[in-house]
A and B are shown apart, each in its own frame.
Chain A
Amino acid sequence: MIVVKVKGRHVVFSFIFLILGFMISFSYQFTKQDSNQGRITDRQWSKEYQIRNELIEQEERNRILQKELSDQQAKVQATEVELANKEAEKIYFNLVEDVEKFRMYNGEIKIQGPGVNVTLEDASYSPTGEDVNNYIVHENHIFKVINELYISGAQAVSVNGKRLNKNSFIYCNGPVVTIDGEPYPAPFTISAIGDPEVLIPALNINGGINDQLVQDNIVVTIAKSDITMEPLLQTKD
């Protein structure tokens, strides 16, 4: 009969083996999990990767094109201005001015001017048990503001930096509002270029748009500011 005495050595060994065993099983588990996942999504992943690459390339190309366009526009404008100055005839000057005017109006070039920013935010307070829809911004609120701005003499309007024109359309799509097919999240900043001394009182009159929006539990901020507006064709940041 062999009696094994428990010595200090044995205690140390048992600890070492315990930890070793744990490490081996852990790394086995870990690698198994990893390879499994990889196998399932391998093809999908490569496909996604490909599309993502394409998208990035396309976006880069667009960015370059955008730059080229603005360069080209600048050249044309410079030529026209030169024309206007050189000939020193009034009719040329007027023509060039008109051309510039309509380019701004049609949203072909970047513009700036005084105006107002109207920010619409969903109500931060929503009591439980009520329809949450009563407390968020809908498309008709945005419509109302845009319409009111135009009627008060706004010259150009943009929503979250997206310039609007006669072919624009706005849809409320669940949590986002879609403008010309592109989704934009709340809060919505509606910028308008025009005379702020007219625009702000027009929004603020008694029972006016501001009151109506507040009635619908929307947080409205109206502020006078200088506004720059991107052209209609713009790469989204």
Chain B
Amino acid sequence: MIAVQFQTIKQPVVRDTRDMWELREDLTRAQELHSNLLNEIYKYEQRLTEYESVRNDSKEDILRDTLEELKADAGLTEVKGRGIILTVERTYNVIGAPTENISAYLLRRFINELNSYEAKEISIAGHRIINTTVIREIQGETKIDSYPINSLPFEIKIIADDPEKLYNRINASKAIDEFYVENFNLRVSEPINEVIIPAYTDPIRVKHMEPLKSERGVN
């Protein structure tokens, strides 16, 4: 009896309960991160060798290049690339009062969805989406970074690495229905070879934050 009791008490051994699928998923994620990290390291290494090899007077140029690159990443330059253009227009064939404004909530959710479909750059009605972009309803007007979207139809431009995939995923998603419910028609263009997305026009102000360097060995 003691032996039986001992066995039963020993039973619940703490196990790693992740099963095969979870493990595989974690592995692919880790591998993705791996390649991203490698790319990033490569970028910085290149920059470093440039700094070291180039003569003093042209170091300024490298600095300028770096800045330009960073600005491009932040969204301060016009970008061209393969992508698709969506047109949002009003529909008239539905009973009920046509909505005056497209709701901010709908747009925000749509951007979220586009991002999950691996969109790289997005602009809505000519306004570039950047890190700190806000879409909000203010006094009944929907505004993107304080610019109102008044005129319908307007265009949503997207650049992606794989526009065909993006195109298919948008068409398969509920997005079109969601726009339709609010009396808007979402027209999706075929993948286009050159989509031009405008730059963010306002200056980006960086305040309140500073780089943290001291404990770089820790992470």
The 8 Å CB contact of A51, one of B7, B24, B64, B216, is B24
Residues of B contacting A98 with CB < 8 Å?
Answer: 67
The 8 Å CB contact of B213, one of A66, A77, A114, is A77
Residues of B contacting A194 with CB < 8 Å?
Answer: 207-208
Q: Give Cα distance in the complex from A233 to B19, angstroms.
A: 26
User: Given known contacts A155-B209, A169-B112, A169-B115, is B216 in contact with A26 (CB within 8 Å)?
Assistant: no
A214 within 8 A of B: no
The residue of chain A having its C-beta at the shortest distance from the C-beta of B1 within the complex is A22
Cross-chain contact A166 with B133 (CB below 8 angstroms): yes
Q: Give Cα distance in the complex from A205 to B187, angstroms.
A: 39
A101 within 8 A of B: yes
Question: What count of chain B residues pass the 8 Å CB interface test?
Answer: 67
Q: Give Cα distance in the complex from A165 to B71, angstroms.
A: 14
Residues of B contacting A107 with CB < 8 Å?
Answer: 131
Q: Give Cα distance in the complex from A28 to B97, angstroms.
A: 80
**Stretch of B30-38, B87-95, B162-170, B173-181 contacting A (4+ beta carbons < 8 Å):** B30-38
**Stretch of B43-51, B78-86, B149-157 contacting A (4+ beta carbons < 8 Å):** B43-51
Q: Give Cα distance in the complex from A30 to B8, angstroms.
A: 12
Residues of B contacting A139 with CB < 8 Å?
Answer: 112
Cross-chain contact B64 with A48 (CB below 8 angstroms): no
The 8 Å CB contact of A140, one of B48, B105, B129, B130, is B105
Cross-chain contact B64 with A72 (CB below 8 angstroms): no
Cross-chain contact B31 with A58 (CB below 8 angstroms): yes
Residues of B contacting A155 with CB < 8 Å?
Answer: 132, 206-209
Interface residues in B72-116 (C-beta closer than 8 Å to A): 73-75, 105, 108-109, 112-113, 115-116
The residue of chain A having its C-beta at the shortest distance from the C-beta of B117 within the complex is A169
Residue-wise interface mask of B (135-159) relative to A, using a CB-CB cutoff of 8 A (1 in contact, 0 not): 1100000000000000000000000
B41 within 8 A of A: yes
Min CB distance B59 to A, Å, is: 6
Q: Give Cα distance in the complex from A92 to B62, angstroms.
A: 11
Q: Give Cα distance in the complex from A103 to B64, angstroms.
A: 14
Interface residues in A61-104 (C-beta closer than 8 Å to B): 61-62, 65-77, 79-80, 83, 91-92, 95-96, 98-104
User: Given known contacts A74-B213, A95-B63, is B37 in contact with A166 (CB within 8 Å)?
Assistant: no
User: Given known contacts A104-B209, A105-B74, A181-B29, is B45 in contact with A66 (CB within 8 Å)?
Assistant: no
Residue-wise interface mask of A (164-194) relative to B, using a CB-CB cutoff of 8 A (1 in contact, 0 not): 1111111100000000011000000000011
Q: Give Cα distance in the complex from A114 to B131, angstroms.
A: 19
The 8 Å CB contact of B135, one of A51, A65, A147, is A147
Interface residues in B116-135 (C-beta closer than 8 Å to A): 116, 119-120, 122, 129-135
The residue of chain A having its C-beta at the shortest distance from the C-beta of B129 within the complex is A166
Cross-chain contact B211 with A110 (CB below 8 angstroms): yes
Residue-wise interface mask of A (125-153) relative to B, using a CB-CB cutoff of 8 A (1 in contact, 0 not): 00000000000000110010001001100
The residue of chain B having its C-beta at the shortest distance from the C-beta of A91 within the complex is B60
Cross-chain contact A73 with B210 (CB below 8 angstroms): no
Residues of A contacting B113 with CB < 8 Å?
Answer: 169
B3 within 8 A of A: yes
The 8 Å CB contact of B48, one of A79, A102, A156, is A79
Cross-chain contact B132 with A112 (CB below 8 angstroms): no
B27 within 8 A of A: yes
Q: Give Cα distance in the complex from A70 to B37, angstroms.
A: 10
Cross-chain contact A30 with B7 (CB below 8 angstroms): yes
B20 within 8 A of A: yes
Cross-chain contact A48 with B23 (CB below 8 angstroms): yes
Cross-chain contact A233 with B4 (CB below 8 angstroms): no
B192 within 8 A of A: no
Can you report 18 A-B residue pairs in the complex whose CB atoms are below 8 A from each other? Answer: A30-B7, A65-B37, A79-B48, A91-B60, A95-B60, A95-B63, A107-B131, A109-B211, A110-B212, A143-B108, A143-B109, A147-B108, A166-B122, A171-B116, A193-B209, A228-B212, A230-B219, A235-B33
Q: A55-B23, A55-B30 are in contact. List 10 more A-B contacts (CB 8 A).
A: A51-B27, A83-B51, A99-B63, A102-B74, A103-B211, A107-B131, A110-B211, A114-B208, A147-B135, A194-B208
